[in-house]
């Protein structure tokens, strides 16, 4: 690949990664479950596009495989399954989180700044995309915050998936162009299985407490 094409790809990857971070912040601010699921699907589509660009530009076929799995699994199958679950339990809006939206956005902004500070010593390892590693760390940290701050199990599942997107973006952004295929496949299918198990758990919480508020699990007694 010639240098101009490489530079163009790098700028495009930076743009896609930046939009992924914006979508992550929208996940933090949004309370409608269906909207959150669709935001995650778009974020996963952007991740698949980044993986496709890296795989095509550097003939990394294993990254292309992960891009295809991401489209099939996290753009179509998991969002479809989660939307169906939301409609079955008939609860479409998140209850009040532990921290309100302005405070949450302030914390996420601080986590994004921290991510850029942490990633700065490792920028020499990035081959495509400027500050892509910093965005990946920000996705991981804000996803962890989202998991803690929200009470509904569905949103916590989305937070887990968003964190996995951050891990995959970090692997793609580094010089190795992703982890070995066996490792990536293992992580991908572990996440899919975890989501299916958590889906069953959501039904159990709903049947027992008539709510998806995971804080009610503290009411369980031996």
CA 145: distance to chain centroid? 12
- Cα–Cα distances in Å, from 93 out to 33, 77, 181? 6, 21, 38
The answer to whether 143 and 168 are in contact (CB under 8 A) is: no
Read off the pTM.
0.81
In this predicted model, what pLDDT tens digit does every residue of 55-97 receive, in sequence order? 887 777 878 888 888 898 889 988 888 888 788 777 766 666 7
Residue 2: the pLDDT is 46
In this predicted model, what pLDDT tens digit does every residue of 99-132 receive, in sequence order? 888 899 999 999 999 999 988 877 666 566 668 8
Residue 158 in this model has a pLDDT that exceeds 50 = yes
Residue 190 in this model has a pLDDT that exceeds 80 = no
Cβ-in-10-Å burial (0-12, 13-18, 19+) of 206 comes to middle
Residue 198: the pLDDT is 63
* Per-chain mean pLDDT for the chain: 77
H or E element that contains 178: none
Neighbours of 102 (CB within 10 A): 9
Residue 145 in this model has a pLDDT that exceeds 70 = yes
Is 107 strand, coil or helix? helix
CB crowding 131-156: b at 16 or more within 10 Å, else e: bbbbbbbbbbbbbbbbbebbbbbbbb
The answer to whether 138 and 19 are in contact (CB under 8 A) is: no
The share of the chain scoring above pLDDT 90, in percent, equals 23
């Amino acid at each position: 690949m010639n240098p101009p094409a490489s530079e163009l790809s790098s700028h495009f990857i930076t743009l896609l990664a930046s939009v992924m971070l914006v979508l992550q912040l929208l996940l933090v601010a949004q309370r409608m479950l269906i909207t959150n699921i669709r935001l995650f699907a778009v974020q996963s589509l952007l991740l698949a596009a980044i993986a496709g660009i890296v795989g095509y530009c550097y003939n990394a076929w294993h990254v292309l495989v992960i891009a295809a799995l991401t489209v099939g699994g996290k753009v179509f199958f998991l969002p479809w399954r989660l939307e169906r679950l939301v409609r079955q339990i008939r609860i479409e809006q998140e209850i009040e989180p532990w921290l309100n939206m302005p405070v949450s956005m302030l914390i996420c902004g601080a986590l994004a700044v921290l991510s850029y500070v942490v990633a700065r010593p490792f920028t020499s390892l990035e081959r495509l995309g400027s500050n892509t590693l910093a965005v990946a760390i920000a996705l991981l940290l804000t996803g962890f915050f989202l998991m803690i701050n929200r009470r509904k199990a569905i949103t916590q599942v989305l937070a887990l998936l968003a964190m996995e997107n951050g891990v995959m973006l970090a692997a793609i952004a580094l010089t190795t162009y992703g982890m070995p295929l066996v490792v990536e496949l293992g992580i991908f299918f572990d996440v899919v299985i975890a989501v299916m198990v958590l889906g069953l758990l959501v039904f159990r919480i709903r049947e027992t407490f008539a709510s998806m508020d995971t804080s009610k699990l503290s009411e369980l007694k031996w």
